[in-house]
Amino acid sequence: MTEKAESSGYKGEVLNALRKAGCEVGDIIRVTAGGKSYEGILIPRSESGDTAHIVVKLKSGYNIGIRIKPDVKIERIGKGAKPMFASPLLPEQKPELPKAIILSTGGTIASRVDYRSGAVRSALSASDLYGVVPELADVARVETEIVFSLYSENLTQQHWSQLAQKVAEHIAQGADGVIIAHGTDTMAYTAAALSFALQNLPVPVILVGAQRSSDRPSSDAATNLIAAVQAATKAPFAEVAIAMHETVSDTSIAITRGTKVRKCHTSRRDTFKPVNATPLARVNNGEVIMLTDEYQKRDATKKLILKPDFSEAVALVKFYPGLDPAVIDWHVEKGCKGILLEGTGLGHVSKYCFDAIRNAVNRGVVVALASQCIWGRVNMNVYDTGRDLLNLGVIPLDDMFPETALVKLMWVLGQTSDAAEAKKLLKINIAGEFSPRTMLDKFGVEGEEADGN
Amino acid sequence: MTEKAESSGYKGEVLNALRKAGCEVGDIIRVTAGGKSYEGILIPRSESGDTAHIVVKLKSGYNIGIRIKPDVKIERIGKGAKPMFASPLLPEQKPELPKAIILSTGGTIASRVDYRSGAVRSALSASDLYGVVPELADVARVETEIVFSLYSENLTQQHWSQLAQKVAEHIAQGADGVIIAHGTDTMAYTAAALSFALQNLPVPVILVGAQRSSDRPSSDAATNLIAAVQAATKAPFAEVAIAMHETVSDTSIAITRGTKVRKCHTSRRDTFKPVNATPLARVNNGEVIMLTDEYQKRDATKKLILKPDFSEAVALVKFYPGLDPAVIDWHVEKGCKGILLEGTGLGHVSKYCFDAIRNAVNRGVVVALASQCIWGRVNMNVYDTGRDLLNLGVIPLDDMFPETALVKLMWVLGQTSDAAEAKKLLKINIAGEFSPRTMLDKFGVEGEEADGN
């Protein structure tokens, strides 16, 4: 056992077992446990607390953790030819394949453990990618560009604008599809932002992330990324969408419209859920299966309309019992031009907020409302409270959930500073953010997934 | 047809059909449509826009709307003996039955159309109840008290305190179970509040609401209320819980712990979903079926511990891209003692908020964090951002979702003004608000329900 393996996260019993079998990180190994046999590349561990498992990257690109007990047999069956972070030997490009651009912004999907140093690097280059996911070379001619290397919680409206412009450039240069690797925390906000900023798209723009980095067992990084490239280059639609696990199993990746998708679980791989919508498509064994007829069509002759401006003078105020309405006044005093109220139920806030809302509207602030329920549709005509709010000038945002509603308000006030015009624009369906009343109501998942954290 | 029916909401074609059949509101009628036959009491309509349906209260307590087409047959088969709002002829109390107290606070479930005047009244008296839900007399000796008549978005911490005290009084007077009729908008907040305020309960306290008032087709008011009384008087647990439809069908009512339940849809009857938990019980055909072994047991000899104080100096700040961190400073300046951050993912906010958070903590403010994902568990040890926030003194609230986390922070700061003590109390499992790591992860529903609004 060389120093290489020792620095790769394995310790104690497991390190001893690997030593005994003469295996080191990067080797192709066969592990036989409980009557089953697994073949793949031994990859390093980054979680120092765990001394019981080894991590093997299977041929499918899927990483599994195998608990090392006395009856588990480990054999070294070959020297690993890949992954090869050290020497970026790029696979040959196949000229007949479509051209895919992968833009990276940071986050878990763009981070990996350097196989030699053991350190985490968050940059993503074409060679890194082919090292981790060599299957991509069979799907597309992949080019990559690092746009940012940021945790997604640090992205703001300015980053959305830059990213929209970058996508537009690559589309102008003939990309058949654009993929954006992004941290999952605020990926849905960015997806909504790009949905409004990139109109009349000729090709798809697919955001993709990972809940577990590629060096960890059960990482979803490779499967999500492959599916994202397949959707971006093959799908018949041309919209902004998110590609992430549809269920806890690894067999299908949901492609969901950027305005109708939300991160709903802190750690599960199927964390992104459609809200008041079904996914646009599902990627299953490399096949892109459309799940709806209602989408904007791919058409290379379409001329992209770029509207990358977002206002920074917009705030979200979530209503809760005991909310101090003076926070609304404070936002108005600070020069806020739009306020998204996250109301309760069908679209309510307490009557003790009415004066502050009236004042805001009178001062020219656009006040809109979405429901903290998340699912369903606001209807402010049912109860007095809703009618009172409508009379105050509050704009009901139908079946948009709060995060998309907030991003739309930021975008609308980036297009116009006229409150009346902004209110009109808010109610126009720009990017599928409003669904028809008869939309199937499906939300959530069932089942259990071990919490890897 | 008398004036009675004319003032009860029926118009046009439908009114003509009722006239022809000689039926008036309160009559027992049989309607035959599409080969099916429905028997029940003709009840008035409150939605003036609809002239196509009649509403019949079936024997099950369920209201259905039947579209009146030319081939529909309406027969009057008897004079309705009930409902009888006008003359409160209370059914005989059965002394062998347990004693249930129904406290009303307002909201849809406590509102009804007066059968004579057509006006909506939001008060709930014992006679009103027996008029609408006479089945209750077979379940319990029901007593009622109007505590408030408010839309739930107008309730605050002071109302939670009063309600907790009122519940304690009735338990001291020998109630075998307490039911609280409540608007659904903030019912989960109140349920969490009572869960912390009412400790060591001898009997269950069940909050119940309705998404559709009892005069509307498909109202869930009666079925939810009956199940709530059954759970309050018969269930083996003694905790604060919410009783609402488990699915879109009318066959089962979920009873879910007050700290683990959230309103997740604006209009569906199965809007309340367990978060990081399973329901405690299900009521099915009058049977209370326990779904877990882990609950506080009913025991009339237990001595209730009442802790009804909640701080008003607590704010929720939801993080989003572009959040102005000065809002945190503003809350601190205003004298806020606790701030609940609604972070992203595993528990993050942008680094540009760090200074404001550091300042708040240095000023003695308790800053805690829950995830806007809603489902899952925060884990602030995985990424730098989380570790930085922990180092700043932010308290991670594990698998509590933001609304319960906010209410707990309000309650904790109602118990102590010492920040160190408050932080300790925040992390103690008081009312099942923390679940074990292996808890089944189930969320959401599938299927479709016509939107009644």
Residues near B417 by beta carbon (within 8 Å), at least 6 away in sequence: B337
Q: What is the pLDDT of residue B437?
A: 65
Which residues of chain A does B264 touch, with a Cβ-Cβ cutoff of 8 Å?
Answer: 373-375, 443
Which residue in this structure is represented by tokens 């429901």? A371
**Which member of A352, A382, A445 has the closest CB to residue B443?**
A445
Out of B190, B265, B316, whose CB is closest to A376? B265
Task: Identify from B266, B275, B276, B413 which residue to disrupt to test chain A contact, counting A C-beta atoms within 10 A and taking the largest count.
Answer: B266
- The Cα–Cα gap between B179 and B191 comes to 12
CATH number of B314-427: 3.40.50.40
Q: Are the beta carbons of B153 and A345 separated by less than 8 Å?
A: yes
Sorted by sequence, the CB contacts under 8 Å of residue A249 that are 6+ apart come out as none
ipTM over 0.90: no
pLDDT at residue number B121: 52
Which pLDDT value is given to residue B24? 82
- Domain covering A314-426 assigned CATH 3.30.70.141 in the classification: no
Residues of A identified as active-site: 108, 184-185, 263
Inter-chain touch A156–B453, beta carbons under 8 Å: no
Taking the CA of residue B8 and the nearest CA in chain A, the distance in Å comes to 18
pLDDT value at position A49? 54
Q: In chain A, which residue's Cα lies nearest the Cα of B312?
A: A322
Residues 6+ away with beta carbon under 8 Å from B169: none
Higher pLDDT, B18 or A346: A346
Q: Do domains B3-78 and B314-427 have the same CATH topology?
A: no
> How far, in Å, CA of B119 to CA of B115, rounded?
8
A132 φ, ψ (degrees, to nearest 5): -85, -40
Digit-coded pLDDT (tens) for B373-383: 999 999 998 88
Of A148, A146, A203, residue with least CA distance to A174 = A203
Give the pLDDT score at A184. 95
Task: Tell me the two tokens of residue B417.
Answer: 């003004």
pLDDT, position A10: 81
Is B352's CB within 8 Å of A271's CB? no
Residue B153 confidence (pLDDT)? 95
- Environment class of A129 (CB within 10 Å of its CB; exposed 0-12, middle 13-18, buried 19+): buried
Question: Helix, strand or coil for residue A53?
Answer: strand
Which amino acid makes up residue A400? M
DSSP A316-373: EEE--TT--THHHHHHHHTT--EEEEEEBTTTB--GGGHHHHHHHHHTT-EEEEEETT
Q: Do A155 and B321 touch (CB under 8 A)?
A: yes
* Catalytic (active site) residue B233: no
Class of domain A99-306: alpha beta
Phi-psi sector, B61: left (phi>0), alpha (psi -120 to 50), beta? left
C-alpha–C-alpha distance, residues B242 and B253, integer Å: 10
The confidence score (pLDDT) of residue A115 equals 39
Instruction: Give the Å distances, CA to CA, from B312 to A326, A348, B408.
Output: 14, 21, 12
- Tell me if residue B331 falls in helix, strand or coil: helix
Q: What is the pLDDT of residues B97-140, one digit of tens each?
A: 999 999 999 877 766 544 334 444 555 677 777 777 888 999 99
Least confident of B110-124, B158-172, B404-418: B110-124
**Side chain identity at residue A163, one-letter code:** L
Least CB-CB distance to A382: which of B310, B348, B453? B453
For residues A371 and A318, what is the distance between their CA atoms, to the nearest angstrom?
9
The answer on pLDDT for B254 being more than 70 is yes
d(CA A187, CA A225): 14
Q: How confident is the model at residue B447 (pLDDT cuts 50, 70, 90)?
A: very low
| Beta-carbon separation of A377 and B266 below 8 A | yes
Q: Between the CA of residue A232 and those of A60, A206, A207, B339, what are the distances in Å? A: 20, 6, 10, 42
Angle at which helices B402-415 and B187-197 cross, to 10°: 40
A83 preceded by a cis bond (ω within 30 of 0):
yes
Q: Give burial (CB, 10 Å; 0-12/13-18/19+) of B283.
A: buried
Beta bridge partners of A178: A101, A205
Contact (Cβ atoms closer than 8 angstroms) between residue A61 and residue A226: yes
Are the Cβ atoms of A267 and B446 closer than 8 angstroms? Answer: no
The angle formed by the CA atoms of residues B181, B182 and B183, to the nearest 5 degrees, is 140
SS3 assignment, position B75: strand
- Output the pTM of the full model: 0.82
Q: In the prediction, which pLDDT does B219 show? A: 80
B303 or A248: which leads in pLDDT: B303
Cβ–Cβ gap A320/B403 under 8 Å: yes
Distance from CA of A99 to the nearest CA of B (A): 31
Percent of chain B surpassing pLDDT 90 = 60
Domains of chain A: which residue ranges? 3-78, 99-306, 314-426
Q: To probe the interface with B, which of A108, A196, A219, A267 has the most B CB atoms within 10 Å?
A: A267
pLDDT score recorded for residue B90: 64
Q: Check CB contact under 8 Å for B377 and A189.
A: no
Q: How far is A238 from chain B (nearest CA, A)?
A: 26
Q: Residue B342: pLDDT above 70?
A: yes
- Cβ neighbourhood burial of A73 (10 Å; 0-12, 13-18, 19+): exposed
Alpha-carbon distance B360 to nearest alpha carbon in chain A (angstroms): 17
CA atoms within 13 A on the CB side of B413: 23
Distance CA B405, CA B414 (A): 14
Across B49-63, B104-118, B148-162, least confident range: B104-118
Q: Which regions in chain A score pLDDT beneath 70?
A: 1-9, 45-51, 59-62, 80-90, 110-124, 214-217, 437-453
Residue A243 is which amino acid? A
Residue B86 CA to residue B84 CA, distance in Å, equals: 5
Q: Which two tokens stand for residue B338?
A: 């606790």
Could you name the CATH architecture of A3-78?
Answer: Roll (2.30)
| Chain B neighbors of A278, CB-CB under 8 A | none
Closest CA in chain B for residue A186: B344
Asked whether B266 and A344 are in contact (CB, 8 A), the reply is no
Segment holding B262, helix H or strand E: strand B261-263
Token duo for residue A376:
């369903």
> What integer is the mean pLDDT of B397-422?
98
**% residues pLDDT > 70 (chain B):** 84
Beta strands in B293-436 (DSSP E): 305-306, 314-318, 338-343, 366-371, 395-396
